[in-house]
Copies of this chain bind each other. A is one copy, B any other.
Amino acid sequence: MKKIHIIGLGLLGGSFGLGARLKFPELIITGTDSNPQNLKDALTLGIITEAKETPDKDTDLVILATPADTLGKILIDTLNQVGENTLVFDVGSTKSKLCAMMSDHPKRKQYLAAHPIAGTEYSGPKAAMADLLNRKVLIICELEKTDLHLKEKAYQLFDALNVKLRFMDPEEHDRHLAFVSHLSHISSFMLGETVLQKMADEKNIFDMAGSGFASTVRLAKSSPAMWAPIFTENKENILSALDGYISNLSAFRDKIANDDSKGLFEEMAEINKIRDILELGK
């Protein structure tokens, strides 16, 4: 592997660049970003070795790390630009639409649908970290549709970055992620909004916020440019998750209204089981 190209030099694209440089010091890393400041920062930070609008024909790997709703067009354009020995993978948080769009594409075998479960509430090249991917799960969808030999190029990078590979179909991926990632972000944003609204009347409310609030509201600092497209791209699954969440909240609300201490206790004790399940996942 001699040359990779990264489109989108934010937190995730930037972390792939920094990680790849660390593991393969000789690698040529070209890249681009629609935001000129990001491109400049990526060069300064050493995320890429050269700014380049489009990948060279002999690029081994192209990584697409732009917002979810832009990936379809960029993927098609990129496949038209690269040679036949290039593998293109995206790192988007939704997979069904992209995979469906690609199902009959003549260059389908040069595409790998990937999603690393890695990130922070920060965004942009300055938020990138060489070890962001270390020991994180990376999900691959429709593995069998990608060329066997080209796939090796991605595996070489994934192994070097020490990710844990998982495989599933795109619909399953989007359904699961709606619950264990997208819903968390919405609950956090709405928590932040509710408290900000209250703060309009009550001063210094944040003085009293402890680590519990900081933890649950952390994701409300996340990038709207990244998340708005995810919410619309994975609409059906997210609506199902949200409806379940709102319905649980309403039922819990009624238990509080009715002073149903026993019901509240029992419901929370049942939810406490998540302790063991989260431990197992470690």
Contacts and interface: CB of A to CB of B under 8 A. Distances in A.
Interface of A: 69, 117-121, 136-137, 139, 166, 172-173, 175-177, 179-181, 183-199, 202, 205-222, 224-225, 227-229, 231-232, 235, 238-239, 241-246, 248-250, 252-253, 256-257, 259, 261, 264-275, 277-278, 280-281
B187 A191 contact: yes
A265 B189 contact: no
A174 to B, nearest CB: 11
A245 B256 contact: no
Contacts of A228: 261, 264-265, 268
Task: Identify whether the interface residues of A are mostly helix, strand, loop, or mixed.
Answer: helix
| Copies in the assembly, this chain | 2
A229 B261 CA distance: 7
A184 B205 CA distance: 14
A210 to B, nearest CB: 4
A136 to B, nearest CB: 7
A180 B208 contact: yes
A265 to B, nearest CB: 4
Nearest to A259: B232
A137 B208 contact: yes
Contacts of A212: 119, 121, 181, 184-185, 188, 218-219
B184 A265 contact: no
Given A189-B268, A202-B176, A238-B256, A196 B274 contact: yes
A199 to B, nearest CB: 8
A246 B177 CA distance: 22
18 contacts: A117-B209, A121-B212, A176-B205, A180-B195, A181-B210, A185-B212, A187-B187, A190-B245, A193-B267, A194-B241, A196-B277, A215-B219, A220-B274, A224-B264, A224-B265, A228-B261, A228-B264, A228-B265
